[in-house]
Structure 1
């Protein structure tokens, strides 16, 4: 109990610490407000700057007001009627700029913008960047000084400095990632943009290498720095300060810097028995580097952690001298209503949900992600595989390669200090052709070797890895083959056998990407039926065309029901097997959250990869609780089916009720009667033995479970209807209002047969529309937030804003008469 309380306190502390991680300057301001945006291109930057009287017909094109971060694919990425926009977009604002540092520098620090960026002060281009995911800085000092001498500075812009930024996510074969990738290549300033003031000399980067032996007794901390000194100041004073996890100063060193090399060695510190970093105790030390000149100081603050990790050759993963099973998932930078432009609060919510599910490892797919994510991984104790976006398509020319080299360098340097990072990923699915007339395996091998060497030169302490490119698996330190047992190929009971075969073929094995799609709210009484069509597979890899819902051999991804019921069984089997695989380093489920993709227009929610354990708006699916039952210590119990309002079957037919729990035992009550106590046994599939056969009555049924671990108990309750009437072909729709609060209405459409029986296995698409004053809350990429969506158990819902007026909603399915509802 005391240990669990301590872990909860550490999580809360982690959230606080993440707020102040990697401070770059005492004078940094997020530029969130006061922006205007134009979707499309301009004839030149002057069109963003020229004076036009307000309301004049000459004030075209029309700009819209936005706040940052902003992604211009926030809606169209999941609009079922459109291809998402790939092209240029412009942003503009006017800034009040006053640098208090004498002869100081003025910087625009981009935490990420997609995919090509050009920056202007008035009509002067001051910088550009290629790459949508690494950070970059543009020095606008000289351009601002020059503009302040112009008459328009005071006359037109009233003492403010106009800034224009052009971003562009146009398709470009000589850029990574490929547009063949199974995720959107978003556009916009979709991470935070900061205005930074510094003295003439500032800290550009701190490299703090914390190492410890496997026994955790001897730690060393090597600190070096890179300084930004564009005006060639001759001498500065540097000061290094190191604090332990409790904030106590354990080291200080003052020195004089006269040579500004690319990297200056500053300090080497020996620390006996350092407080180790781990998922259970993510202890972080603080490294501060200050530079001072002429009485002005600039400080950079970094967090580091001491940990020793090793992927054992032909064996499991060790952290700090002990075996640790990596319990992982994946993350795309994507969310309902904002796409890639997730706020810090959204990111924190997502990462805390992962921790609450029991995650200790994450692969960031398939690109460098926000510093906020890495800070939270450090403070929450989540180990990281982070990779560059060399993803699918083949290999381009020198421009293409230069971008990959540059992005690998930037990723390693920018995230070098994070103790959470254990793997640098060099590529994903590089065996997937399509962007070029030739596909040269040997050329790909040669470039992969180059990136592997570069990674180890930049950071010899971390491993390199790739996923799914067998002809390169001997190059990197750790390899993950394609294993999708029970989804794209084979059946899930083959998982251990197939994994062991792949494990034996490489020195260091880690299984990332497994799972299956589930349409949130869809459940099945016979979820494993499709497995009878599937032949035993020699391998369980994903092959060309397997993601298609049409043609090819039988596979669950095409022939299954896409129910939450099936995916819970698949996950349950994988997790129980992993407990009996002592050689396994770990795995990472794909992914944590549903995300948008341009290559899946025919999915139940169009343009969505629906393999997440939560929906795109943080709504938990049932699978979340399966993971919790295996991976967490805090007592939990969850009756399967909270999003399954109506079950079906014959009168008197025995039905299985499952409870996912980490309890020692649980007692189920069905309609007030005890169904007995069951003991948990992780190897008793399904639901670790916590399952009961019950006879539902027609209509409403009450279900309750009381789960126990020691003296602790937890309760979960559920109400479900039971339908015995058999249904025929879908024949009619019923549209009704089911919620109305604070100007937001939720409507539900049901599909019935000719005898008015609910068609509980209907999979047809329904299209919602609205006419009048209101607005549909659609294009969210969720089962309850899409204007085109497949039914789930005979129903579908969507919400709308009334805007204080009247509207008429409609629902339409092919071959069935459209229905209307006055609101």
Structure 2
């Protein structure tokens, strides 16, 4: 098999066409017909920016892609395939105007055979031997498909995962499954197991010549530990090729994620090909009414969640971006992730295997109810695809069958018994396809007895109740099911928003009287309903860090807990939250949508990470406030045994870490700041390793009134961008560090706002965070926008954009504005 990614030389048209001939007729009639095709690289989504447009609904409809491919199959009489790793949400594939395949489902992989169409295309003279390929993607809403548009995420359109051109012989291996079963643990990370190797063939022409197969197992160090050969006639379906007893095997775990490899080679008169699959040896158990066990030992699952969503590109993340994200998750100390709420990129699963991150992966039967037979068949098809395509990954322990299936809205009926019957059908299908893993769902109480592992809704301190009721809520839920796992907890938090005293909900709910902590339909709304922190709170990083701190310190002593996963690792776009401080953004992330770390990242590290670390809270809190001489709390997050804090060069003493001493595990000091600039420095030690951190801030003692004016400043960056920041002041010109109004940036002139990113510095409509809001500006309107951790990475600068015409071009001029209801508009001129 030969495989190449098709990344470059694609063009895209956003909109519907009358048919595939309209893709190509511009080539024939280019002097008379002009379709605005745009050059793009894959992966690509046509919703990369519009999902974060605060003034309109994102586009749902057709988007077309076209390319002229050079096809040179090295196998005589071989098959030429297009392998899609994911495209949303419906796809049709054409060679020239001939439809060669279609697929329903935005998240599973599919393959289209283009062999005969390539031969036909060779006769089209004007393409000079190139093969014209077109792909239509369509993310139009249809109630009889999953996921529901009531789901808290976008139904993206486009070829948003990698697309591959694949060459295989007439007879080839289609899929290889490796099962490591009957695992026994011997100790010291070793064990034994039985390894079964099964395979299916791709043989569309029903060739009957004999095939020879060679199977080899390789240890993590590359040594061959088992091998065999087999000669037989081609077969239908899946065939068992070999069974091996593997003794002294290295066990896979988060701390030692050693991966074996199985190579199956096939030889016939039509050519040779091989498939290499990695697998791991491990055993796991959810003890009935008890903890989670991995390889015979208790493991507290410490997790987070992931959506395929990133600033500027939506789901169309490159492999490099995915690797960066997954590495951050591992470095945070997580050993578990739930991939919500759909099958995700094979790259993600491969990285989970390599990094040692256990996985719950699920199908997108998410909210809305239950549709008819076509709807149900899509659920069956997507569950089958997810299990068969990700079967070999040792990281996967749970197949998710649904999410919040008690949330009705898509149909004029809601039949709990029918949902129960279908959930049972999916549960049984999952076990037929893979009886070595368990099934799971989150938040559907009337189905909790059907699946193997259940997570109720517990949002103590956000959608309901207060965070000090967390442990009691979990214990109550734990006692009501055989296997309890706490999926989803957290709080929305606007990056760089800090407060001196967070709103906690204690104000209206006495401790111990919080009552229910589950999320109910409508609790995510910012109006109506009962008092709750999600509606009445400050959405600050300060509160979020305190909540995390409380949850994590509780989890350390809950010896019956299987695990819990915070929702979610990264801020992500969603159509159901137009009123968020950044509209259309779910802001519960530990990092921003461009992977910029929030303060919460370091709270998790202080409990979960092995490598010594220390972090002073408030690096993006440029101004603290209070009265002169007032004692203020300084929090330090660290996994080290002790730390010493210095204020303006003077030691405030050494503190010992105690995970049960809330907040900050005992690493907290009271300090008296001087008016003006202050400098904090902390030095921590663990096992002879010293780490330190420092920050500076202004301490404001001058009182302020209501915001009366906005002022703009501009700072030019090295890459050519300009950062424009708005700050709120009262009528006397005193800075308002707690101002939180919405502001809207605008621009007239030669430049452009770098917005639509869903980040604190990449959104034209945003709430002030601690009295400030800012946005990056391209002053010339020509800088390339490759999204990275900072939100924008330039491959050139203003000088390159201005080059040409002998340097005679007039310098660009832009006027940036910021508006806020009730305040005068502020302006600043760039250039």
Please, what TM-score do these two structures have when normalized by structure 2? Answer: 0.94
- The equivalent position to 1:531 in structure 2, one of 497, 506, 531, is 506
Q: How does 1:84-233 map to 2 (within 5 A)?
A: 84-148=58-122, 150=123, 153-154=124-125, 156-211=126-181, 212-215=183-186, 217-233=191-207
C-alpha RMSD of matched pairs (Å): 1.0
SS at match of 1:448: helix
- Report the equivalent of 1:19: none
Q: How does 1:401-416 map to 2 (within 5 A)?
A: 401-416=376-391
- Report the equivalent of 2:325: 350
Structure 1 CA distance for aligned equivalents of residues 488 and 456 of structure 2: 9
Aligned length: 793
- The equivalent position to 2:521 in structure 1, one of 537, 540, 544, is 544
The structural deviation recorded for 1:581 is: 0.4
Structure 1 CA distance for aligned equivalents of residues 566 and 687 of structure 2: 31
Moved more, 44-53 or 233-242: 44-53
Structure 2 CA distance for aligned equivalents of residues 330 and 809 of structure 1: 37
Show structure 1 runs of 4+ deviating over 6 A: none
- Report the equivalent of 1:818: 825
1:680-710 deviation digits (Å, cap 9, x = unpaired): 0000000000000001111100000000112
Q: Which runs of 5+ in 1 are unaligned?
A: 1-24
- 2:211–2:234 contact (8 Å) kept in structure 1: no
Q: Closer, same or farther in 2 for the Cα pair 1:814/1:39, shift >3 Å?
A: same
- Report the equivalent of 2:398: 423
1:542-601 deviation digits (Å, cap 9, x = unpaired): 001110111111100010000000000000000000011000000000000000000000
Structure 2 CA distance for aligned equivalents of residues 121 and 295 of structure 1: 25
Q: How does 1:490-509 map to 2 (within 5 A)?
A: 490-509=465-484
Structure 2 CA distance for aligned equivalents of residues 182 and 214 of structure 1: 41
- Report the equivalent of 2:806: none
- Report the equivalent of 2:8: 33
Structure 2 CA distance for aligned equivalents of residues 113 and 529 of structure 1: 42
Q: How does 1:289-368 map to 2 (within 5 A)?
A: 289-294=264-269, 296-368=271-343
The structural deviation recorded for 1:166 is: 0.4
- Report the equivalent of 1:76: 50
Q: How does 1:210-289 map to 2 (within 5 A)?
A: 210-211=180-181, 212-215=183-186, 217-234=191-208, 235-289=210-264
1:245-269 deviation digits (Å, cap 9, x = unpaired): 1001111211113141210110000
- 1:534–1:555 contact (8 Å) kept in structure 2: no
Moved more, 109-118 or 727-736: 727-736
- 1:101–1:197 contact (8 Å) kept in structure 2: yes
- Report the equivalent of 1:718: 695
Q: How does 1:427-466 map to 2 (within 5 A)?
A: 427-466=402-441
The structural deviation recorded for 1:51 is: 4.6
- 1:534–1:556 contact (8 Å) kept in structure 2: no
- 2:171–2:270 contact (8 Å) kept in structure 1: no
| Corresponding position: 1:48 with 2:23 | yes
Structure 2 CA distance for aligned equivalents of residues 710 and 361 of structure 1: 27
- 1:594–1:616 contact (8 Å) kept in structure 2: yes
| Corresponding position: 1:590 with 2:567 | yes
Q: How does 1:479-628 map to 2 (within 5 A)?
A: 479-534=454-509, 536-628=513-605
- 2:201–2:234 contact (8 Å) kept in structure 1: no
SS at match of 1:531: coil
The structural deviation recorded for 1:53 is: 6.0
Q: Which runs of 5+ in 2 are unaligned?
A: 781-797, 799-811
| Corresponding position: 1:370 with 2:332 | no
The structural deviation recorded for 1:57 is: 4.0
- 1:363–1:588 contact (8 Å) kept in structure 2: yes
1:83-122 deviation digits (Å, cap 9, x = unpaired): 0111111111111111110000000000000000000011
The structural deviation recorded for 1:795 is: 0.6
Structure 2 CA distance for aligned equivalents of residues 371 and 289 of structure 1: 20
SS at match of 1:313: coil
Structure 1 CA distance for aligned equivalents of residues 719 and 309 of structure 2: 27
Please, what TM-score do these two structures have when normalized by structure 1? Answer: 0.95
- 1:637–1:707 contact (8 Å) kept in structure 2: yes
| Corresponding position: 1:670 with 2:640 | no
Structure 1 CA distance for aligned equivalents of residues 72 and 504 of structure 2: 68
Structure 2 CA distance for aligned equivalents of residues 326 and 91 of structure 1: 42
- 1:531–1:556 contact (8 Å) kept in structure 2: no
1:251-290 deviation digits (Å, cap 9, x = unpaired): 1211113141210110000011210000000010010111
Structure 2 CA distance for aligned equivalents of residues 681 and 576 of structure 1: 9
Q: How does 1:19-30 map to 2 (within 5 A)?
A: 25=1, 27-30=2-5
The structural deviation recorded for 1:294 is: 1.9
Structure 1 CA distance for aligned equivalents of residues 26 and 578 of structure 2: 43
Structure 2 CA distance for aligned equivalents of residues 725 and 812 of structure 1: 26
